[in-house]
Amino acid sequence: MYAFFFRLVFRRMDPERAHHLAFAWIRLAARIPVLRTFVAAALAPRHKELRTEAFGLRMHGPFGLAAGFDKNAAAIDGMAMLGFDHIEIGTVTGEPQPGNPKKRLFRLVEDRALINRMGFNNDGSAAVAERLAAREAVFRTVVGVNIGKTKVVPEAEAAADYVKSTERLARHADYLVVNVSSPNTPGLRNLQATESLRPLLTAVREAADRSVDGRRVPLLVKIAPDLADEDVDAVADLAVELGLDGIIATNTTIAREGLGLTSDPELVKETGGLSGAPLKERSLEVLRRLYARVGDRITLVGVGGVENAEDAWQRILAGATLVQGYSAFIYEGPFWARGIHKGLAARLATSPYATLAEAIGADTRKAPAA
Ligand SMILES: Cc1cc2nc3c(=O)[nH]c(=O)nc-3n(C[C@H](O)[C@H](O)[C@H](O)COP(=O)(O)O)c2cc1C
């Protein structure tokens, strides 16, 4: 049914307008008590066996919404209503900014992919902190806060911008993500080099500890799929050295591999980050490499091209404790998370593993060579 609706309505609309329309519907449904109870009962049934714990946080399951869909923390309950077990909001920058000029989001329907160069359009850390502080949660869910650099802030002053966001947002975050991997802010991905990343993560850790009493906010870093393998290893080693809680692999790619011949070549040429199905293989590869390096010393979050339960299961077997998705939600619609949960529960039941935790990394442990 959604496929029919998508073809008839969303596909004919500009992708960013379609996003705003769907977003408004989700927010509206979550505000109407009878409706949201009904929708959550239909789309977010719980599977006890999928209960997950990651960096000390308990969740209904391992499957969450990746950053970028709810940049301003405006639809947390709506997304929980649709069955996501955790919601990562952001990327939020120190200061508000409009992002890149439109058009900046493109659908490659035949490839089940998206290209975006949104450029961190968001309300800024002060406004988002206020929204999170005022939120009266309807659904209990885990909220991650993903932070990035304000575009006008020079690379050399990046840490101060991240610290500003941390001071404002950490107390409202169940976990915090340092995003150094979006391709749409000039220079941002240079921060992945360990010489830059070490002081940045240290400063954010200290700022989080300073600004939150009585709780240690888990800190994660989100990396790009375009890193060379040695650089993936270097980030993994640094994360262990600094006692980071997690690594999110991966963000979108600037590569254009894995695309079929059917997508419009003009669209393929658009600059920006590619996400969805063509990213699947590389994201999985990076995840495997990370798990082979860090094992269970650091929690891994697998994201990039996850379309269905089998993909989510493969990420868990590769080493992910949590799995996230974004692009396939556009193509699959509101029943997406429900299907993933059902499929994961079925796979776990017929697997040799008694719990989801036992399955984490099982494939990579069997064949560790990357
Ligand atoms: C339109 C769009 C906007 C995004 N914005 C962000 C963002 O602000 N911060 C971030 O860390 N990732 C962002 N992402 C990347 C996703 O969180 C995710 O890492 C990537 O899309 C791969 O997952 P997918 O293939 O399931 O979409 C964005 C992705 C898309 C498609």
pLDDT in the model for residue 192: 84
> pLDDT tens digits, residue range 72-126?
999 999 999 999 999 999 999 999 999 999 999 999 999 999 999 999 999 999 9
> pLDDT tens digits, residue range 243-293?
999 999 999 999 998 887 788 888 999 999 999 999 999 999 999 999 999
| Residue 121 in contact with ligand 1 by CB distance below 6 A | no
Contact 124, 147 (CB under 8 A): no
- What tokens does 258 get? 């894995």
Q: Of 193, 273, 198, which Cα lies nearest the Cα of 240?
A: 198
Residue closest via CA to ligand 1's atom 12 equals 67
| Residue 118 in contact with ligand 1 by CB distance below 6 A | yes
Residue closest via CA to ligand 1's atom 28 equals 68
- Which residue of 123, 145, 220, 252 sits with most ligand 1 atoms within 8 Å of its CB, as the best mutation to test the pocket? 252
For the question of residue 182 being annotated catalytic, the response is yes
In the three-class reduction of DSSP (H, G, I as helix; E, B as strand; rest coil), residue 16 is classed as helix
This prediction's pTM: 0.97
| Residue 248 in contact with ligand 1 by CB distance below 6 A | no
- What tokens does 38 get? 């009904």
- What tokens does 73 get? 């923390």
Residue closest via CA to ligand 1's atom 19 equals 251
Residue closest via CA to ligand 1's atom 4 equals 68
Contacts of 311 (CB under 8 A, 6+ apart): 280, 305
| Residue 146 in contact with ligand 1 by CB distance below 6 A | yes
Of the candidate ranges 4-8, 123-127, 201-205, 215-219, the one whose mean pLDDT is the lowest = 4-8
pLDDT in the model for residue 5: 80
| Residue 122 in contact with ligand 1 by CB distance below 6 A | no
| Residue 184 in contact with ligand 1 by CB distance below 6 A | no
**Residues forming a β-bridge with 148:** 93
| Residue 252 in contact with ligand 1 by CB distance below 6 A | yes
What whole-number distance in Å separates Cα of residue 26 and Cα of residue 19?
A: 11
Set 182, 275, 283, 327: catalytic member: 182
| Alpha carbon separation from 288 to 31, 179, 238, 250 (Å, rounded) | 40, 20, 17, 12
pLDDT in the model for residue 123: 98
Q: Name the phi and psi angles at 107, rounded to 5.
A: -100, 130
Residue closest via CA to ligand 1's atom 2 equals 68
Quote the ligand 1 centre to 349 CA distance (angstroms). Answer: 31
pLDDT in the model for residue 264: 87
